């Protein structure tokens, strides 16, 4: 009889998060997914909170996390998050798993935002402050950061791609978890999210995406995502890779 080694959980709500935690506690690998990135982040926080209560009760001694970048099939990095009681053997097992998936591993202590979001999201938030204060136009801010710091796209374009609602959610986690005013979400970011301007997936963010098929227009970026922006469909239909010698003229569905 085949042995189950990994369990997939679709949906990160109360039931999904509880099932994922239960399976993980049985020493099985768990992949929890949700079409809503905010719901997925909320589910992970629910699991972390529940595990913390178990730790306090002395029933769980080791916790470890894997933070994948979006989109997971294309992004090379996985952050492994170690708890204070995580054994080296557990870390080694998860590191080997990530490398088996073809990922490069960084290790983070268990603090809000880990490494990548701790640095990336305040940069995006500061770009919104620069925009709100009239320091530069969206294009000036993006081109300045792109060419001045050799990034593949500017922070405001990236925010639209990630989702402004997701950026705000992460900033709220940093602000609440770290208690430092420097992580206070920019009022302009809050206004955009309240107005339903969530970025590319909603058709409007910092930039407007008015056509039914919206391209990530920054031609220097290596990843293009094609979205349907009608009938409530928000997930990428497919993803296209572009190298330095290729020009994509158009895609027909």
The pLDDT value recorded for residue 27 is 79
- Please provide the CATH number assigned to the domain covering 1-60: 3.40.50.720
**What's the CA gap between 62 and 215, in Å, rounded?**
44
Q: Where in the chain is the domain with CATH 3.40.50.720?
A: 1-60
Which CATH topology does 116-209 take? 1.10.1040
Q: Identify the band that residue 244 occupies on the pLDDT scale cut at 50, 70 and 90.
A: very low
Task: Give the pLDDT mean for 167-174.
Answer: 96
Peptide bond into 160 cis (omega under 30): no
- pLDDT tens, 25-71? 777 889 898 888 888 889 888 888 887 776 666 565 677 888 888 77
The pLDDT value recorded for residue 55 is 62
Determine the straight-line distance between the first and last CA of the chain, rounded to whole angstroms: 43
Q: Where in the chain is the domain with CATH 1.10.1040.50?
A: 116-209
Task: Give the pLDDT mean for 121-148.
Answer: 97
Contact 142, 157 (CB under 8 A): yes
Q: Which residues pair with 47 in a beta bridge?
A: none
Q: Which residues are catalytic?
A: 67
Q: Identify the band that residue 178 occupies on the pLDDT scale cut at 50, 70 and 90.
A: very high
Task: Give the pLDDT mean for 152-176.
Answer: 95
Q: Which two tokens stand for residue 12?
A: 């990160």
The pLDDT value recorded for residue 218 is 39
Asked whether residue 126 carries a pLDDT value surpassing 70, the answer given is yes
Asked whether residue 111 carries a pLDDT value surpassing 70, the answer given is yes
The pLDDT value recorded for residue 5 is 81
Q: Identify the band that residue 74 occupies on the pLDDT scale cut at 50, 70 and 90.
A: confident
Instruction: Output 228 or 141, whichever has higher pLDDT.
Output: 141
Q: Is 30 exposed, middle or buried (0-12, 13-18, 19+ CB in 10 A)?
A: middle
- pLDDT tens, 215-225? 444 333 333 33
The pLDDT value recorded for residue 13 is 87
**What's the CA gap between 230 and 211, in Å, rounded?**
10
């Amino acid at each position: 009889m085949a042995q189950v080694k990994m369990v997939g959980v679709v949906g990160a709500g109360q039931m999904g998060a509880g099932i994922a935690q239960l399976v993980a506690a049985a020493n099985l690998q768990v992949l929890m997914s949700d079409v809503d990135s905010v719901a997925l982040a909320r589910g992970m926080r629910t699991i972390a909170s529940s595990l913390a209560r178990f730790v306090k009760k002395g029933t769980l001694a080791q916790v470890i996390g894997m933070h994948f970048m979006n989109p997971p099939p294309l992004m090379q990095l996985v952050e492994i998050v170690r708890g204070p009681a995580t054994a080296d053997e557990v870390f080694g097992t998860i590191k080997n798993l990530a490398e088996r998936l073809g990922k490069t591993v960084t290790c983070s202590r268990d603090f809000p935002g880990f490494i990548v979001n701790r640095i990336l999201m305040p940069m995006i938030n500061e770009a919104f402050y620069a925009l709100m204060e009239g320091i530069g136009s969206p294009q000036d801010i993006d081109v300045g950061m792109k060419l001045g710091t050799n990034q593949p796209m500017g922070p405001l374009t990236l925010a639209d791609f990630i989702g402004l609602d997701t950026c705000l959610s992460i900033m709220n986690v940093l602000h609440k978890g770290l208690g430092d005013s420097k992580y206070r979400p920019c009022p302009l970011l809050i206004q955009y999210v309240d107005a339903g301007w969530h970025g590319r997936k909603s058709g409007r963010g910092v930039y407007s995406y008015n056509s039914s098929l919206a391209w990530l227009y920054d031609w220097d970026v290596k990843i293009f995502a094609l979205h349907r922006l009608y009938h409530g469909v928000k997930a990428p239909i497919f993803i296209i890779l572009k190298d330095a010698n290729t020009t994509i003229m158009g895609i027909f569905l």
